[in-house]
Amino acid sequence: QVHLVESGGALVQPGGSLRLSCEVSGFTTAHYNIGWFRQAPGKEREGAACISNNGEYTAYADSVKGRVTISKDKAKNTVYLQMNDLKPEDTAFYYCAIDLRSPDTCKRDQRAYQYWGLGTQVAVLS
Assign 80 to helix, strand or coil. Answer: strand
Tell me the pLDDT tens digit for each residue of 46-83: 999 999 999 999 999 999 999 999 999 999 999 999 99
**What digits encode the pLDDT tens for the residues 32-46?**
999 999 999 999 999
Predicted local confidence at residue 50, as pLDDT: 98
Whole-number Å distance between alpha carbons of 66 and 100 = 28
User: How much is the mean pLDDT over the chain?
Assistant: 95
Q: How many angstroms separate the Cα of 11 from the Cα of each of 17, 66, 124?
A: 10, 21, 6
Beta bridge partners of 78: 23, 73
Indicate if the pLDDT at residue 27 is higher than 80. Answer: yes
Residue percentage of the chain with pLDDT more than 70: 100
- Decide which of 102 and 7 is more confident: 7
